[in-house]
A = this chain, B = another copy of it.
Amino acid sequence: MNTELLIHFIKETIPHFKIDDQGLLKITECFEELELEKGEYLLKQGKRSGYFIMIEGYLRAYTFNEKGEEITTSFYSANRAVFEVASFFQGLPSEENLIALTKCKGYYTDFTKLNGMFHSVPEFREFGRAVLVKEFVAYKQRTISMINKSAEERYAQLIQSNKDIFQYAQLKHIASYLGITDTSLSRVRREFASK
């Protein structure tokens, strides 16, 4: 397996930590390469989530509200760890689906393997925790945006932070991610463009 990019991702995530080769070997042994074609699912509702370090591509996470409408909960792009936190760590069946918006490449593992590394490889502990913290912080910021920003501000923010996604995701999916309807997003875009 070509593990170069996996190793690079791990080192980038914990730059203050030196990892010896033995530790790296233990880690890379627990991952397998995985490719998804556009439209393929990384995770389906009801299954337990795995842990995917994505090196290339775009993914969308979605679930359904009580009315049965699709709600996009996240977008993922390259150099991001992808997992549904409750399902992966607490062993629950996932309420989310993860679908590839483009061809995706990366490294995959499951909870048992990851947990083994977590306890036996100190550097991996740091890595795992850093990833969890980073994702947590991102969600927290998003909640706060929902509280004190308008739809248009959230839209502007998304354009700035993840412009590519507009190329791969449908606007109605971006709309539900932003917490508005596709109709409103369309109007927000018109307003925004005219500025």
Where the two chains meet, the residues of A that have a C-beta atom closer than 8 Å to any C-beta of B are 63, 65, 69, 71, 73, 85-86, 89-90, 118-119, 122, 125, 128-130, 132-133, 135-137, 139-140, 142-144, 146-148, 176-177, 179
Contact = CB atoms under 8 A, between A and B. Distances in A.
Main secondary structure of the interface of A (DSSP, over half): helix
Contacts of A133: 85-86, 89-90, 132
Given A119-B122, A122-B119, A140 B71 contact: no
Interface centre among A122, A125, A139, A177 (most CB of B within 10 A): A139
Contacts of A69: 148
A177 B125 CA distance: 33
Nearest to A134: B90
B135 A125 contact: no
Contact of A136 (B63, B139, B142): B139
Contact of A144 (B73, B122, B147): B73
Nearest to A95: B144
A119 B129 CA distance: 11
Contacts of A125: 118-119, 125
